[in-house]
Copies of this chain bind each other. A is one copy, B any other.
Amino acid sequence: MKQVVAGIDIGGTNTVFGLTDRDGNIHATGSLKTGDYSDGEFFIQDLANAISKTLANDFKLVGIGIGCPNGNHYEGTMENAPNLNMKGIVPFVKRFEEIFSVPTVLTNDANAAAIGEMVFGGAKGLKDFIMVTLGTGVGSGFVANGQLIYGHDSFAGEIGHMTIFPDGRPCGCKRKGCLETYTSASGIAKTFIELTEKHNGKKLENITSYDVLLEAENGNPMAIETFDYTAKILGLALSNAVCITSPSHIFLFGGPIKAGHFLLDPLQKYMEEDMLFVFKNKVKLQISELMDKNAAILGSAALSWSSHSFSVSLQKS
């Protein structure tokens, strides 16, 4: 029987999972609509049933890894995730260990992405790197001394909520000027809307960061300026983060990265301009190698394989 772990990614819209072997091959997948659930226990039971169905005779489940918003690694719980209908504290690890009797680990999605990069992607063998995930929000996972930094409460790695402008844009966290208000997908769209209104007097609505990319490809100078401005702010934030952990690499992940050279060329330039001299031209800025793969599942699966390698190795395949 092939040993697999279930890599589960709980997203705001969909929850996806995949049975993943030690080499990162995904053998079977499934999904649920996260938004359909307001009760954690119903969600856990439906998710467990869906996983059980994919476990055909060929597979032996040896672990479960879960990436989720507001994941508390130490407690194994999802805590008050602001964008989900499931409120309160959901005890995923306890319940899945009861149901499947296999070691289960949980962390937040950006941390899972960092571990995925370390186990299956471009960060293999690296001891000090940062993963930055750009999407609805901006997340991060910091690895130092070869270990993920969880912090004393497991909530470390919130680069998206570092304050860039103390009186800047209002953020969902009720503070102002957080990095993610400028460099998340909606932050990028907002910058484009603001620039277009300022320069052309046009009021735009229902714009996504993908629309901004299409506009940039069509040569719209406001769109090109939008990515330049996004890069300027992200470059400053990355140079500040480098001051703290001095990574050899920074990996970027998420939809807005698809803007390619419109974002990445100015980002590299601004980051180096802002960098303290001791760090200049030392930090490699790279796109995640899992960008076009099933990264969310692989991250959660990697979390399980990396956490349970000892206990797993005692079992026969």
Q: Are B278 and A158 in contact (CB under 8 A)?
A: yes
What CA separation (Å) do A243 and B155 show in the bound complex?
Answer: 8
Selected A-B contacts with CB under 8 Å, 17 pairs: A127-B152, A128-B151, A128-B152, A140-B244, A144-B145, A147-B147, A149-B245, A151-B246, A153-B279, A154-B246, A155-B246, A155-B279, A161-B276, A163-B236, A163-B240, A166-B274, A241-B244
Q: How far is the CB of A143 from chain B (nearest CB, A)?
A: 10
Whether, in the assembled complex, A124 has its beta carbon less than 8 Å from a beta carbon of chain B, the answer is no
Q: How far is the CB of A230 from chain B (nearest CB, A)?
A: 15
Task: Specify the main secondary structure of chain A where it touches its partner.
Answer: loop
**Which residues in B have their C-beta under 8 angstroms from that of A127?**
152
Q: How far is the CB of A229 from chain B (nearest CB, A)?
A: 13
**Which residues in B have their C-beta under 8 angstroms from that of A247?**
151-152
Determine which of B128, B149, B173, B282 lies in contact with A244 in the assembled complex, contact meaning CB atoms within 8 Å: B149
**Which residues in B have their C-beta under 8 angstroms from that of A145?**
144-145, 147, 149-150
**Closest chain B residue, CB of each to CB of A128:** B152
Whether, in the assembled complex, A209 has its beta carbon less than 8 Å from a beta carbon of chain B, the answer is no
Whether, in the assembled complex, A157 has its beta carbon less than 8 Å from a beta carbon of chain B, the answer is yes
Chain B CB within 10 Å, residue with most, of A70, A174, A175: A175
